[in-house]
Structure 1
Amino acid sequence: MGSGEPLNHPCPMTTYAHRTLLLALSVATVATTVTAAAPVARADAPGTNGPALTWRPCAEPGGLSGQECARLPVPLDYRDPDGPQIGLAVTRVRSERPAARRGTLLVIPGGPGGSGVRMLATKGPALRKAMAGAYDLVSFDPRGVGGSTRAGCELDPADRHLVTLRSWPGPDGEIGGNAARSRRIAEACRRHGGAVLRSFTTVNEARDIDRLRRALGEEKLSAWAHSYGTYVGAVYAQKYPRHTDRWVLDSSGDPDPARVGRGWLANTATGADDRFPDFAAWAADPARESEGLRLARRPADVRPLFLALAAKLDREPKGSSTPGVPLTGNRLRQALQDALESDGLFAEVARLIQQAQDPAAEPVLPDTLAGPLPDQDAAATMATVCNDVRWPASVPAHRRAVAADRARHPLTAGMPVNITPCGFWQAPAEPPTRITADGPSNILMVQNRRDPNTPYFGALKMRRSLGDRARLLTLEHGGHGAYLANGPVCGDRTVTAFLTTGRRPQKDTRCAD
């Protein structure tokens, strides 16, 4: 999830560098209604209704022109609002057409572990063009991420690799090593993370957003929330409904308060199965011949090829171009999970498969698999989901779950239901937020049908929880992240129209490539 995408959430543990790579008009037409078309009223002048923000230019060469940055103080513990403060890195790009400006659009990053500052820098040009001056664009680094106050666990480097932070079972499905590592990681975070690490929760992120709203002097915010950020956005809309304007939830997970984090991870087993046929069709396409990346003559042959290769690497890991880091079956499986997020990543994993098959080739590992995450990044990806809700810790129960899941979903080999450090974490400080239908009807959900990280069936549970507050736009497409990323043009147009004009489908609808 550079800051990593998460251990146990809708964007499981891929780096933000991959997020930046996820960057055909449909004949579908949808009936629309207008919601909140008038300009949004501002609160008092910025800083008078919340902490003052001191903005400075921070645009990078070749980046988003006019980008500014500031630091927002927030309470370490909202039960003691005047007590110790920590700082959040925030960023904005002002509307280039003040006469057209109607408010502030908040970009809520995925993760836990995703950087909103980076997301705005990379997605900002396309978003600014789409919004045509309707908003100031604002985002932030959540607690523990990027330029915000951070915390670490002093984990051993071997425990910070993606395939060890993620609980991939042993080659025979054994999880004893996962359980020992998970306990070791949780104990290290308890010893070294302190109050700062314990403050990394979804509800605190929602509170921080409201503090940012007040610092901006806005009565209401509009938002584009991505992946795990959709849960943050839903929690904010639940706790602060009168401060929401036009709310977009892009690639949502199941909001069941008993299973947040754990359920998201478990659902990725089905998500990988749903998405893999897209990769198989691509890898068997004759067009791959000229690229040297065709893996099979028929799409149906790609899956058994991949599974057999992963099993062989379980038995006989192959040396890679990274000294001391071999290509194992689990590293290959993790590479596939990362690549399923976007068609643009298919070539990377196909090339790795080719190198693994060639006795004379030395596999080149993706950057995400070649070394350990920085300690603070590893801590950030775990802490929020572990702090949000209690996870089960029974090793025998996890062993049974892993055995069943390996049989049902061999692509993910039992990892999505395996034991994690959350099973040995401290008890949550407060219960998770239940998402309900109470609140204004101003939410548009957008969802790819074949999303490997936030599968469609999980998004349907978010849709049911929100009731008449939301409309769902289903995109007959594959990949994670829909708006301005992996979705078809008809989806982009519908989301843009909602944010800029207030027109929203009258009922749940869909569009195709």
Structure 2
Amino acid sequence: MRAAALYSAAGSLLLTALTAAPAGSTPVAPDGAEQQGTVVAAARAKASGIDFGTCADAKDMPGSLQCGTVSVPLDYAQPGGRQIKLTVTRVKATHKDPHNSKRHVPRQGALVYNPGGPGGDGQYFPLVGLIPQWKRIAAAYDLIGYSPRGVGRSAPLSCEDPKRFFKAPSQAPTYPSESYKQERIAQAKAYAQGCAKRSGSGLQYFNSLNNARDLDVLRAALGEERITFMGASYGTYFGAVYATMFPSHVRRMVFDSAVDPAPDQIWYRNNLIQSAAFESRWADFRDWIARHHDVYGLGKTAAAVQHSYTKASAQLAAEPAGGKVGPAELQASFLQAGYYDDYWPTRAKALSAYLKGDPKPLIDQAGPATEAAAESENSNAVYTAVECNDAPWPTDWKVWDRDNTRLSRVAPFETWDNAWMNLPCAFWPAPQQQPLDVRTGPGELPPTLILAAERDAATPYAGAEEMHRRLSGSTLVTERDSGTHGVAGGPNRCINGYLDAYLLEGRLPEQSASCAPHPEPKPAAPGDRSHPTPAKESLKGKAARR
């Protein structure tokens, strides 16, 4: 069942009404000066290349990982002006066929990856070549990761003191009072002002158009005439912007969990639709818990599981677990389970243990990762800057209040949390752009591959369909009845087969195709230590929304 059909009739009608809210106007093409500036910067990067060497944190990295930098203009309209350095990582093609040790695999070029966000850091991507599902691709391609502008060491953005970033424990009212709303408005204004104060006059240049230009400079620095690129989540959006701006520079492109690129959806409407989709994914998770009531004891129906969750949230509001896990931390922890179903067993186990008197698993999973405060604050700053800079947002609080109040009646799980996440855009101090009309005509762009899970909440399936319509010659491959965000190189062999065929042979199905869902996770009993904690657990904190 497609994502567009996941919502109740009331929810669908409501979203139709909400998307009439003013959140932008007619998109325009990139400025000619910036186009010329990109040509200048790319030529300069091609001449200098990238001097790859030992990584600064080499003691923690496999020896095959190399690091370097590439310089790009802060403002492409002034290519000779201030330059910023982007951190780039590489693992060279192994040339080793994992199924035939005697076969030498020819190099096909560089495969550049972006994990999304905005604010995601791709510098560790090349290490995926150590994973079995990626070995064939790693044999043929130099795997390239990088930290986009603003992220990590790449001219890092900051909007507040990282020591103040985690404000745990926090409340998360499903139906906030007027006084609470005023508190959050004040916080949003202060955050927006902090972004301007800590980031200076260059704040406006952290946007998707410049991310696409940076990608072209990186392509040139790598010595590639045409780029092979894989973007996940938000990475699909600026990848599509790149495809629109530089179609002749594309060799192959993979869009994994595609964002709806329609200009009138960027970004206010996309966030409303995302909140509605998370309600459906939360229902999927509750159904799964209910089917395993014998393990967790949280209820035999989705409604009963909701009651258990609501009970835990109320208890945490009265007395935070360990003094640091309140309702907001609980909600953020369970939101991660909306992204990735491999979180389901550990989250359900923690909730069950908490309601039975043992708060430790919940504290471990939902407590603020203070050791990662600087990284989390930076990621959040980049997310906010890019989304706020990319497009106009409603500046009247009454619009936000109306739309989110209506939506929360049918989709309470994520609606207000998403609104607070994005509210600084209502008070943004930097100039806001008009989104590019992402679109390519027949023959302009080589065939591209779009991958999507049918019940993905972070990037609802209708967005993948829109991306498919806008990129002529693209093919959409769907993982049916599944909601994991990001499917490339995961547990679904069918999806990976299409990915390998495309990247290694340039082969796509003649028409859009689909795959059966990957198996649901197996439950983990409260005393069971055999179920591993998801690898993504190390990235605890306020996750970027795409």
Quote how far apart the aligned CAs of 1:51 are. 3.3
Answer yes or no: is 1:302 the counterpart of 2:305.
yes
Answer yes or no: is 1:481 the counterpart of 2:483.
no
In structure 1, how many angstroms separate the alpha carbons of the residues matched to 2:448 and 2:231? 11
Change (3 A) 1:130 1:260: farther
Change (3 A) 1:130 1:177: farther
Change (3 A) 1:411 1:512: same
Quote how far apart the aligned CAs of 1:262 are. 2.3
Q: 1:33-44 to 2 correspondence within 5 Å?
A: none
Deviations 1:426-477 (A, max 9, x none): 35354222111332242110001111211112222222222x3311101012
Partner of 1:89: 87
Partner of 1:393: 395
Partner of 1:349: 347
Contact 2:119 2:383 in 1 (8 A): yes
1:269 is aligned, of 265, 275, 293, to: 275
| Pairs aligned (count) | 458
Contact 2:114 2:120 in 1 (8 A): no
Change (3 A) 1:158 1:51: same
Change (3 A) 1:332 1:442: same
2:469 is aligned, of 457, 464, 483, to: 464
Change (3 A) 1:62 1:85: closer
Q: For residue 363 of structure 2, what is the amino acid of its counterpart?
A: V
Quote how far apart the aligned CAs of 1:64 are. 4.7
Quote how far apart the aligned CAs of 1:413 are. 4.6
Contact 1:144 1:151 in 2 (8 A): yes
CA RMSD of aligned residues (A): 2.9
Task: Name the one with the larger helix percent.
Answer: 2
Answer yes or no: is 1:258 the counterpart of 2:289.
no
In structure 1, how many angstroms separate the alpha carbons of the residues matched to 2:158 and 2:173? 23
Contact 2:407 2:415 in 1 (8 A): yes
Partner of 1:320: 321
Larger displacement relative to structure 2 (300-309 or 397-406): 300-309
Deviations 1:71-105 (A, max 9, x none): 11111111111111110000111112275112111
Q: 1:415 aligns to what SS in structure 2? A: helix
Contact 2:208 2:238 in 1 (8 A): yes
Contact 2:89 2:124 in 1 (8 A): no
Q: For residue 49 of structure 1, what is the amino acid of its counterpart?
A: K
Deviations 1:195-225 (A, max 9, x none): 3433211111111111111111110011111
Quote how far apart the aligned CAs of 1:377 are. 3.4
Q: Give the fraction of aligned pairs with identical amino acids, expressed as a percent.
A: 29
1:335 is aligned, of 311, 333, 336, to: 333
Change (3 A) 1:411 1:183: same
Q: 1:82-481 to 2 correspondence within 5 Å?
A: 82-97=80-95, 100-122=106-128, 125-126=131-132, 128-131=134-137, 133-155=139-161, 157-158=163-164, 161=167, 171-172=176-177, 174-286=180-292, 289=295, 293-299=296-302, 301-310=304-313, 312-313=314-315, 316-321=317-322, 323=323, 325-328=324-327, 330-359=328-357, 361=359, 363-366=362-365, 369=368, 371=370, 373-374=373-374, 375-417=377-419, 420-428=423-431, 430-438=433-441, 439-466=444-471, 468-476=472-480, 477-481=482-486
Gaps of 5+ in 1: 1-45
Quote how far apart the aligned CAs of 1:318 are. 2.6
Quote how far apart the aligned CAs of 1:168 are. 7.0
In structure 1, how many angstroms separate the alpha carbons of the residues matched to 2:133 and 2:81? 37
Contact 2:117 2:383 in 1 (8 A): yes
In structure 2, how many angstroms separate the alpha carbons of the residues matched to 1:416 and 1:194? 26
Q: 1:479 aligns to what SS in structure 2? A: coil
In structure 1, how many angstroms separate the alpha carbons of the residues matched to 2:321 and 2:507? 52
Contact 2:390 2:435 in 1 (8 A): yes
Q: For residue 333 of structure 1, what is the amino acid of its counterpart?
A: Q
Gaps of 5+ in 2: 1-42, 96-103, 518-546
Quote how far apart the aligned CAs of 1:417 are. 4.3
Quote how far apart the aligned CAs of 1:302 are. 2.1
Change (3 A) 1:151 1:360: closer
Change (3 A) 1:353 1:77: same
In structure 2, how many angstroms separate the alpha carbons of the residues matched to 1:449 and 1:240? 29
Contact 1:152 1:197 in 2 (8 A): no
In structure 2, how many angstroms separate the alpha carbons of the residues matched to 1:163 and 1:457? 36
Deviations 1:87-142 (A, max 9, x none): 00001111122751121111122111111102333566446403152211112100
